Structure 1
Amino acid sequence: MHGPGSHMASGEKARDFSGTIRRLVRYLGIYRVGFIAALCLAMASVVFSVVGPKVLGEATNILFYGIQTQSASGEGGIDFAKMGSILTSLLMIYLASSAASGAQNWIMSGITQKVVYRMRGEIAHKISCVPLSYFDGQSISKGDVLSRMTNDVDTLSQSLNQGVTQLITSVTQIVGVAVMMLTISVPLAGLTFVTLPVSAIILGILIKYSQRYFVAQQAELGIVNGRVEEDFSGQGVIQAFNQTDRAITSFDKDNDQLYTSAWKSQFLSGLMQPLMSLVGNMGYVGVVVIGTALAAGGSIQPGDIQSFIQYVRNFTQPIAQLATVSNVLQQMAACAERVFEFLDAPEEDVDILTEAKEPASETLGNVRGAVSFKDVSFGYRTNETVIHDFSVDVAPGQTVAIVGPTGAGKTTLMKLLLRFYDIRSGKLLVDGHDIRKVSRSGLRKNFAMVLQDSWLFEGSIRENIRFGQPSASDAEVESAARYAYCEHFINTLPGGYDFMISEGAANISQGQRQLLTIARAVLANRPILILDEATSNVDTRTEWHIQHAMDRLMAHRTSFVIAHRLSTIRDADLILVLHDGDIVEKGTHDELLAKGGFYANLYQSQFDTVDLQFSPTTEYGRD
């Protein structure tokens, strides 16, 4: 679902526009040489183009006075040699401007693509580092992370390439044109400059009101992406429960909010160009009227008027472009802020022992498999407790089954053991080491697991099995597959072990997915196993094969088995019966049946079809 951190209400401004820009500048510091070169080339291109109208004005004067002299006296004429020299110089100036602009564009394109490559790499790395709690509906949705990795980074790249360069060239052009206009006519330049404060007022008003909608647009885009990702992955369930209309209604609601913020941001940004053009045209008219009067009085030459008219256009054009650039920079800041917000999320690999954030101080190495929970308490939120003073000692090589109704805390215990979350109080020891004193990577290299949800990536069957041990040979992969009773169905697939699993493993059955994840755990060959509903999605015959393979796999290994089918854990060395985060019973299968308590009732409910009623708080909750 969508966590609150993924949603910025429409109308909310960027929290720190200037701070985000400063951080982005620091982030781009490693490309400073390229940036400086690109900006210098951009300014050179502008300087060349600014000189052009002045040179063209000289050519116009030669043409005008040549024709005038010839008309008045019938002698003389146009000096074509000088005209040719001036036009050749003008051509060289414009060619130099184009060359500088092209070189600048080549450099900036390379830089922006490097930035995109780097940012996406950092986001991908960050995804593997943030704790699971970050995605538990408290901070951000996975779809929003996808939006930041694609949409926001792409927009940032485009804004960086277009906006920064345009900002420099526009400012350079304004300054250069202003100087050239002053050299031609101070009165005309003064008239033109009057348009600046008018333009600034218009820009200020539009920027003030448009920034909030640009931020909201990017946030709403992330929410819509999250909704699409959620509905797409759950399409089967949505259709099975006939909830298509409800899903469409939810999407329409999010899409309407995106439409509103996008429409407002685009409308306000679209107003900038025509308003700036209106101001520029008013100045243009004034220059024509006053310039004509000055030329008639002999204050300026005809070529100067022609040059000045070009400069007026070149003066108002970058001002109008600055209006567009302001939108681009706002959008760039909004996207950068969202990317940096995710990159600043707390990372799981910062090993925390106490609130003082002491680093990992012990090396775990390869363990024998002794596990001890000592008065462990834990809650997903500060105002709730899921596990209450939980204590149990597990000897190396023991098989421990954990049973109980939904919400009892079975899966939560395994998440604590793997340090997906840190315990609130008590101690959790592996081979006598407090797991908060060892690194997560050092801890997890001793665990193999098979989860309820069989996760396979797009690739060959061989690659998916090898995920448990990347250095394994083909023979070891195939041996693990045989051990998990996968080989028969693998050989029936086109290509066998090279059969390509599609996205979401949609081209194989759920039972086959489960078998492949078990083969992956077999290949990993870790001293501690976690089997969370390992046989919950296979038929009875397949379950029998898996159970025998698991019995061999669990021999001499510490194994934690979470199962609702109690028939699969009758041979466990120890069965823990959980209820609301507490151990209500423990012992072997026969011992617990003899007690005739909670476990016995749970067991009989599965094999004697006795209806066992649980309270709503027992039936539903978070494992």
Structure 2
Amino acid sequence: MGKLSSILKLKPFLKKYWIIFTAGIIGMILSSAISTPVPYIIGYLMDKVLLGKKGFNELYFYIGIIALLYVFRYAISFASKYIFVKINNLVVNEMRCSVMEKVMDLPMSYLAKTEKGYVQSRINECSSVGSIFSPSIISVFLSIVDAGLAVVTMFVINYKLAIVAILLAPVFFFSAKLSAENFMKNTMAMMEASAFLNGESYEIINGIETIKVLNGKKSKLMKFKEKLSKLIKVSIKQSKSMVLFMENTELISNFGSLLILLIAGILILKGQFTIGLYTSFSLYIGKVFSSAQGIATIGTTMKPACLSIERIYELLDMKDENFGKDKILNERIKSIELKNVSFKYDENKTVLSSLNFEIKKGEKVLIKGENGSGKSTLIKLLLGLYSVSSGSIFYNDFDIKEINTESLRKRVGIVSQNIFLFKGTVLENILYGQNEKNRSDAEKVIQELNLEEYVNKMPKGLDTEISQNTCGVSGGQAQIIAFIRAMLGDKDVIILDEPISNIDAETRKIVLSILRTREFKGILIVVSHLIDEMNFIDKTVNIDE
């Protein structure tokens, strides 16, 4: 896990930015090339000007040249790093959007079994990928170019010392790399522990009302502290390995520099080397050692990012719910038929067994069953949210296993038992998922359903704000909002899941009146365990039987 080759998976996200990406790389090379002569000029300045002629004009001249090179390097380095910061934001946000889109396309069979917090942590890991384009990583690659140019110049200065430096660089590199391995291991463990802690946090926040009602604070907090303790434990190990890693690399660097000083000192005493050249050489070898350390330590930043890429691609590479479903349902739905349909969530829990029935256009059908009989599961099967364990569901003689779910759901309206409303206005929730509709369309349907008075009772009518889920409207009002939304789309099939359960008397009266008097051109399916006042029903299917 965390292989550097995973970076290649970013290619699709970088493709559209390849021009500015190339410009950034060219800028890195130019900034390194511009700064390469500086240490040599400093050495020359010491030998020929400060220790030789001791002339002020020459001093000012060479200082001016160095200053000019610094300014040029600053401008080019800033521009190239800015480019990579821009690429960072563009790539990360495009990846985040792709992951979110993929999550929405994943099968419910996966999403139902996976902690939502864990999925959320995968989305959050897109930010970690951006560290690949961070200034610190760019500086490491910049140092590699610096080191290459420095080695060439070192050979020009003194090939003997250059050979010693080259022999020292691999020792420095491998020592630093070995020190970093333990750090990487603990970093991966910390990321995993953090993901599970996020999952627990999400569950607590999502179920806070239930926790309060059932006085479950103590037990839930105990589980949270247990996962938090694991995170703290691995975090301390990670910090310890990081300190050890930094101290080891510094110690090796110091002894390497000391060895170069020893050899250079002997050469200076023999008259074969100068103090100015040693100064230049020291600055160049600093670039080489810095580059070796950067390459050895790049894994501390790159590998976690690569691990994040691999985790993200675990989602991106998954088959979505429409995999292999190429049939687009273009024609109106005239019939729904179930043949020997069975379903089980797992091997030990059979929910539906050998269901057989047919519904035709123009029929109002009641699907009856006691609580827990699988009525809600049947709705999920009809919507293609789950696949049947055995048997087949046919829409117009087409097996649902072949039908693109998006084209199916465009033709099926649903009012769920547990209605979820999004943050926004009542109107925005009514129009949700129906971009071709507008306010006048919603008002027309409300008028047709004789719901104008009911809607106007809300604080601001259609402009009433819903802050979170159904916060801002009552349960009955949420039911009516969902009902209007289902009726707005002129769907071929309308499914009502327990439409008269758990609502107030006024809302029940309104819903039943609409169902009794309104002409449905398509198929109406009412799923309920209550049968009172259902005299408008043409056919009843009892799934208990």
Q: Work out whether the TM-score is over 0.5.
A: yes
CA distance in 2 between counterparts of 1:56 and 1:552 reads: 95
Instruction: Describe the superposition over 1:532-572 as per-residue Cα deviations: whole angstroms up to 9, x where unpaired.
Output: 12233321232122221233456443222222333354542
**For 1:428, what is the secondary structure of its paired residue?**
strand
Superposition deviation, residue 403 in structure 1 = 2.6
Q: Tell me if 1:365 matches 2:341.
A: no
- Cα distance between partner residues in 1 of 2:95 and 2:368: 44
Secondary structure at the counterpart of residue 47 of structure 1 = helix
CA 486–327 in structure 1, closer or farther in 2 if over 3 Å, else same = farther
Q: Secondary structure at the match of 1:566?
A: coil
DSSP-derived class of the 1:559 partner: strand
1:147 aligns with 2:133: no
Most deviating of 47-56 and 259-268 = 259-268
Match of 1:306 among 274, 279, 282: 279
Question: Which deviates further from its counterpart, 32-41 or 445-454?
Answer: 32-41
Which deviates more, 479-488 or 217-226?
479-488
CA distance in 1, matches of 2:382, 2:263: 83
Alignment of 1:227-306 (within 5 A): 227-306=200-279
Indicate if the aligned counterparts of 2:367 and 2:528 stay in contact, CA closer than 8 A. Answer: yes
4+ runs of 1 displaced by more than 6 Å? none
Q: Identify the residue that residue 420 of structure 1 maps to in structure 2.
A: 385
Corresponding residue for 1:464?
Answer: 429
Contact preservation (8 Å) 2:131, 2:137? no
Classify 1:239/1:485 alpha carbon distance in 2 versus 1 (closer, same or farther; 3 Å). farther
Report the Cα distance in structure 2 between the residues aligned to 1:212 and 1:317, rounded to whole angstroms: 24
Q: Encode CA deviations 1:318-346: one digit per residue, 9 max, x unaligned.
A: 33333442211111101111111111111
Distance in 1 of aligned mates of 2:461 and 2:405: 36
Q: 2:465 aligns with which of 493, 496, 500?
A: 500
Equivalences for 1:82-481 in 2 at 5 Å? 82-137=58-113, 140-150=114-124, 152-162=125-135, 164-352=137-325, 359-360=326-327, 363-368=329-334, 370-381=335-346, 385-467=350-432, 469-481=434-446
C-alpha distance in 2 between matches for 1:372 and 1:233: 37
Secondary structure at the residue paired with 1:421?
coil
Matched residue SS, 2:82: helix
Residues 64 and 476 of structure 1: CA distance in aligned 2, closer, same or farther (over 3 Å): closer
Contact 1:41–1:103 (CA under 8 A) maintained in structure 2: yes
Q: Which runs of 5+ in 2 are unaligned?
A: none
Quote the offset at 1:115 in angstroms. 0.6
Q: TM-score, normalised by structure 2?
A: 0.92
SS of 1:394 mapped into structure 2: strand
Gap runs ≥5 in structure 1 = 1-13, 67-76, 353-358, 585-623
User: For 1:534, what is the secondary structure of its paired residue?
Assistant: coil
Matched residue type, 1:394: I
- The 8 Å contact of residues 41 and 100 in structure 1, kept in 2 or not, is answered as yes
Once the two structures are TM-superposed, the CA of residue 464 in structure 1 deviates from its matched residue by 0.9
Tell me the CA shift for residue 303 of structure 1.
1.0
Percent same amino acid at aligned positions? 24
Alpha carbons of structure 1 residues 180 and 553: separation in structure 2 relative to 1, 3 Å: farther
Return closer, same or farther for 1:25/1:443 CA change in 2, 3 Å cut-off: closer
CA distance 1:255–1:97, change in 2 (3 Å):
same
Structure 1 contact 529–554 (Cα < 8 Å) conserved? no
The question of whether the paired residues in 1 share the 8 Å contact of 2:85 and 2:135 is answered with: no
**Does structure 2 retain, via aligned residues, the 8 Å contact 1:484–1:522?**
no
Q: Contact 1:464/1:520 (CA < 8 Å) preserved in 2? A: yes
Alpha-carbon offset, residue 272 of structure 1: 2.5
Give 1:21's aligned residue.
7
Is the contact between residue 422 and residue 466 of structure 2 (CA under 8 Å) also seen in structure 1?
A: yes
SS at match of 2:542: strand
Letter in 1 for 2:337: S
Q: Any residues of structure 2 matched to 1:432-581 within 5 Å, and which?
A: 432-467=397-432, 469-481=434-446, 487-488=452-453, 490-553=455-518, 555-567=520-532, 569=534, 571-579=536-544
Say whether the 8 Å CA contact 1:514–1:535 is kept in structure 2: no
Q: CA deviation at 1:191?
A: 4.0
The answer to whether the Cα contact below 8 Å between 2:423 and 2:468 also exists between their aligned partners in 1 is yes
Instruction: Give the 3-state SS of the residue equivalent to 2:9 in structure 1.
Output: helix
Choose 536-545 or 207-216, whichever is displaced more: 207-216
Opposite residue 302 of structure 1, the aligned amino acid is I
